[in-house]
Chain A
């Protein structure tokens, strides 16, 4: 089974802090994704990566950056956290022509 592990289930940070969300997958997948999910808005893609050190913007990249130094790890960075970034963050990975597999999610609160 595919295992996608997100570093935290719940996280509380303060406005202006730099926040790191970590994601690790164990299936040697090329593709990894970060989404946020808010009530009524569905899954919204923030960034994705199709290879080490490669990244592409998704639908809502503003206020975020990512890092992929190793194939198994994809990090999401909130450069200066704001209250409108309070959300559920989901990491996923997939192989070519395969469905995505999700981690358990991180519920992030920015105070």
Chain B
């Protein structure tokens, strides 16, 4: 059973600080990694994808991947109250060719940015 683990939170961060969200996964063959943001009552929205070790930056967001340690993280710089949401980590394994049954979601981390 493939697993994707996240701390459920809530994670409380003051406005303007860096929010750090972490995710670990059990399947060493995992290939592709995604972060989704979900506001209360809304559907998940894709915000970042990362496929190789290292950092990937997009605006205030940075995704970090370490395949040897089997973790992926999301950093949000200059946190804003509008960043308050649940963040879901998702992983595609290396078995199914990225097909229909290869994507596993974590349960999400609830992030609160305090003004």
Most A CB atoms within 10 A — which of B43, B45, B46, B108? B43
How far is A107 from B107 in the complex, measured between Cα atoms in Å?
A: 19
B105 contacts A43, C-beta separation under 8 Å: yes
Give the interface size class of chain A: 20 to 34
A-side contacts of B25, CB under 8 Å: none
Indicate with 1 or 0, residue by residue over A38-64, a CB within 8 angstroms of chain B CB atoms: 001111000011100000100000000
Interface membership of B58, Cβ < 8 A: no
Size of chain B's interface in residues, with CB distance under 8 A? 24
B97 contacts A96, C-beta separation under 8 Å: yes
Chain A interface helix/strand/loop/mixed: strand
How far is A90 from B36 in the complex, measured between Cα atoms in Å?
A: 14
Interface membership of B103, Cβ < 8 A: yes
Interface membership of B14, Cβ < 8 A: no
A-side contacts of B32, CB under 8 Å: 97, 99
A-side contacts of B31, CB under 8 Å: 97
B46 contacts A56, C-beta separation under 8 Å: no
Indicate with 1 or 0, residue by residue over B9-36, a CB within 8 angstroms of chain A CB atoms: 0000000000000000000000110100
Partner of A90, one of B43, B97, B99: B43
A-side contacts of B88, CB under 8 Å: 42-43
A99 contacts B101, C-beta separation under 8 Å: no
Enumerate the 9 nearest inter-chain pairs by beta-carbon distance, A residue then B residue, closest first. A97-B98, A42-B107, A50-B100, A31-B100, A102-B43, A105-B43, A99-B34, A43-B105, A48-B100
